[in-house]
Homo-oligomer: A and B are copies of this chain.
Amino acid sequence: MLRIGQGLRRKADIMAGQTGGKQPTINDVAALAGVSKKTVSRVINRSEFISEKTRKAVQQAIETLGFVPNPQARALAFRRNFLIALLHDNPNAQTVLGFQQGVLDAIKDSDLALLVRPVDRGSDRMLDDVRTFLEKQRPIGAMLLPPISENDELAALCESLGVRYVRVGSAPLDDPQHCVSSNDHDVVKEAVRKLVDLGHRRIGFVRGPEGFRSAAEREKGFHEALAEAGLSLADDHYAPGNYRYTAGIEAGEKLLALAEPPTAIFCSNDEMAAGVMSVAHSKGVAVPGRLSIIGFDDSPTATHIWPALSTVRWPIRQMGVRAAQLLVPDFLGSGAKAIDADPAALTSTFVERQSVAPPGR
């Protein structure tokens, strides 16, 4: 009797202490469950060396108190923070945010949180900056978005700091366990073949920036598709670019000023395609009547311009999910695994809209 009375009183005290403003700690739980804090810790971390009976009791106490382990304390003891870092240096908001969304979808039910960190590709302090960041934040893992994902030193840095990493790219950059990649090369071939099948013979190309793997992959796919059709790219049908709208303008002005302009232009991304399309409009060149245009990304721009742009849908959000699954499979709840059981969800696909037609004549 007395014993029970004491027990009850103690429980009341604990509850009172807890409601007294602050969060319950592992000590409160331990006291309430009548076990040591280490045992509570074992329950939290799903240790296998624990009897079903005590596990139940501890669970019960945890729920009664509404106890949530303090991530800062765990981070200190584990010498690792329950965070994922997203490192990016990407001109394209849509890409970054789409990917970010995917990652967040995946980690929604986990204990992880997402830390976003832009890095300055140009700076020669870049590596040091990232090292400092990783040493300070000690995330479980880091995700590298293109173009910095192509930097091997960065990957090596993560490796050496014991930070897991995943590199996102347009083609495999690393071993499969560190890499989420799309099939830019193949799908560009498919898109260009489409143009050829419609009867286009003079096809222009607007390239992405030097130093971007994606730009190289897309160019390769383009050339191969032409080659397979027995065609080749005329020198004056090529325009350099940098994935920006203004580059599209310049490219459009160059290509459409030719005595014999291309009847179709493949642009390495949607923004540049939008630029080319503007030039066509302002020169009175009908799209798709006299000029077909294809972009890449399926960004919002693709559907916001008129006529709607045929483009390549890059499953960026899905890639975010996949990247998280690859990076921290052991932290994700079962929900996250269900998110993409479908491997096909990761393939880029050609989306036909209104900017493509047979060559006018």
* Beta-carbon contacts under 8 Å, A62-119 to B: 68, 70-73, 75-76, 81, 93-94, 96-98, 100-101, 104, 111, 113-118
Residues of B within 8 A of A93 (CB): 93-94, 97-98, 300
Residues of B within 8 A of A96 (CB): 97
Residue among A100, A274, A304 with the most chain B CB within 10 A?
A: A304
Which of B23, B101, B305 contacts A274, CB < 8 Å? B305
How many interface residues does A have (CB within 8 Å)? 46
Which of B113, B135, B274 contacts A304, CB < 8 Å? B274
Which of B113, B117, B304, B307 contacts A117, CB < 8 Å? B113
Cα distance A138–B23 when bound, in Å? Answer: 12
Task: Tell me whether B300 and A271 are in contact (CB under 8 A).
Answer: yes
Residue among A132, A136, A307 with the most chain B CB within 10 A?
A: A136
Residues of B within 8 A of A116 (CB): 100, 104, 114-116
Interface stretch of the complex, out of A2-10, A148-156, A277-285 = A277-285
Instruction: Answer yes or no: A303 CB below 8 A from chain B CBs.
Output: yes
* Beta-carbon contacts under 8 Å, A288-304 to B: 300-301, 303-304
The closest CB in chain B to the CB of A76 belongs to B72
* Beta-carbon contacts under 8 Å, A114-145 to B: 114-118, 132-133, 135-138
CB distance from A64 to the nearest CB of B (A): 17
* A137-B117 contact given A68-B132, A306-B281, CB 8 Å threshold: no
Q: A71-B136, A115-B116 are in contact. List 16 more A-B contacts (CB 8 A).
A: A23-B135, A72-B138, A97-B97, A100-B116, A101-B118, A104-B116, A104-B117, A114-B116, A271-B300, A275-B304, A278-B304, A282-B306, A300-B301, A301-B301, A301-B304, A305-B306
The closest CB in chain B to the CB of A97 belongs to B93
Residues of B within 8 A of A72 (CB): 72, 75-76, 81, 138
Instruction: Answer yes or no: A245 CB below 8 A from chain B CBs.
Output: yes
CB distance from A20 to the nearest CB of B (A): 15
* A245-B303 contact given A72-B72, A72-B76, CB 8 Å threshold: yes
The closest CB in chain B to the CB of A100 belongs to B116
Task: Tell me whether B115 and A137 are in contact (CB under 8 A).
Answer: no
CB distance from A127 to the nearest CB of B (A): 15
